Amino acid sequence: MGNITLKNVRKAFGDAVIIPDASLDIRNGEFVVFVGPSGCGKSTLLRLIAGLEDLTSGQIFIDGKDVSDIPPAQRGLSMVFQSYALYPHMSVRNNIGFGLKMAGLPKDEIDAKVAKAAATLNLTDYLERKPRQLSGGQRQRVAIGRAIVRQPKAFLFDEPLSNLDAALRVNMRVEIMQLHQDLGTTMIYVTHDQVEAMTMANRIVVLNKGNIEQVGSPLELYNKPDSLFVAGFIGSPKMNFITGPVAAAHKAATLGIRPEHINVVKGKGEWQGTIHFAEHLGADSFLHVDTVQAGRLTVRAPGDFEGRPGEAIALKPETVRMHRFDEKGLAIR
């Protein structure tokens, strides 16, 4: 089982309050992603759950048991670090088995578990190597192997893929999701990459300056952002924000519309402008358009769109897909 509950968790380093007041319920078997800009306290929150940092106040429960004062090893969680944090002087075999050895398991049992984990992660051929003789992706797998042999109640990942190149990152992303499917264990995953968050998560927790802005499934966050911050953070390219008369016409302080919900039309359209420049990605083209009514907007057009910079263009937003926000940046529904 791996239900994790945070209750009014607060963390301050000296005078600096990093997490003011966070409450969160994570259900058994969920894949939860913490996402937010750099420095917003994602790692800190994860480390609080792991027990690597002490709470300033509040409580953390695992399966209903208050673990706030219990040392990390006894919380039954495994962590995969951003730098992998492998033990450099030990072979892959000993790296994976070390936690079990410290837990006092008999040797043959450790060997069996290590062999099984290594087989799952395609590491069998590398068991006798030292970490420095492995590639980045293999090291990452060893770090995951070290986490899975302990059969934890939940896995904690702190930006585990950020040191890998783009192609490998996609592979490992799939492997981690596969692992989640096979094991069915709760996973908490920290990233500042919103694509990772959208593709992997059952639920996303968006953090802003230590506050939990919104919790929800990827599509909930995409379709119904509670605030300007979430609206701007989820989705790529970023949502367009329009202020002034256009927003006022819709009775909002700020009007949000995603690039994929603005259509290029023949004729007059609703907004007119000129193409400032165009990014052609093959499948899509992203146009940066200077409009008369709404200022600079990003628009998604089909891949075969042939507009050139300087050309005039007419746009029509999908009105039902517009998001309205008040002066405080909260959604008006």
Partner 1 sequence: MATQHTRSLGRIAVAPSVIALFLWMIVPLGMTIYFSFLRYNLLDPGNESFIGLINYQYFLTDPAFLKALGNSLKIVGSVLAISVIGGTLLALLLDQAIYGRNFVRLMVIAPFFVMPTVSALVWKNMMMHPVSGLLAWLTTRLGFEPIDWFAHYPLAAVVIIVAWQWLPFATLILLTALQSMDEEQKEAAEMDGTPPLSYFRHMVLPHLARPITVVVLIETIFLLNVFAEIYVTGSGGRAGNMPYLVYFQGLLNFDVGGASAGGIIAVILANIVAFFLMRMIGKNLEG
Binding residues (CB under 6 A) for ligand ATP: these are: 13, 16, 18, 36, 38-44, 192
CB of 119: closest distance to ligand ATP in angstroms? 32
By beta-carbon proximity to partner 1, the closer residue of 32 and 100 is 100
CB of 206: closest distance to ligand ATP in angstroms? 12
By beta-carbon proximity to partner 1, the closer residue of 77 and 234 is 77
Q: Which H, E and C letters describe the chain, residue by residue?
A: CCCEEEEEEEEEECCEEEEEEEEEEECCCCEEEEECCCCCCHHHHHHHHHCCCCCCEEEEEECCEECCCCCHHHHCEEEECCCCCCCCCCCHHHHHHHHHHHCCCCHHHHHHHHHHHHHHCCCHHHCCCCHHHCCHHHHHHHHHHHHHCCCCCEEEEECCCCCCCHHHHHHHHHHHHHHHHHHCCEEEEEECCHHHHHHHCCEEEEEECCEEEEEECHHHHHHCCCEHHHHHHCCCCCCEEECCHHHHHCCCCEEEECHHHEEEECCCCCEEEEEEEEEECCCEEEEEEEECCCEEEEEEEECCCCCCCCCEEEEEECHHHCEEECCCCEEEC
Binding residue (CB under 8 A) for partner 1 from 66, 87, 109, 290: 87
Q: Which stretch binds partner 1 (CB under 8 A): 14-22, 71-79, 233-241, 314-322?
A: 71-79
What character string, x for contact with Mg ion (CB under 5 A) and - otherwise, covers 25-64?
------------------x---------------------
Binds 192, which of partner 1, Mg ion, ligand ATP, none (CB < 5 to 8 A, cut-off by type)? ligand ATP
Binding residue (CB under 8 A) for partner 1 from 17, 70, 85, 322: 85
71 counts as binding partner 1 under rule CB under 8 A: yes
Q: Which stretch binds partner 1 (CB under 8 A): 69-77, 233-241, 274-282, 318-326?
A: 69-77
153 counts as binding partner 1 under rule CB under 8 A: no
Hey, which residues between 96 and 135 contact partner 1 (CB under 8 A)? 98-99, 102-103
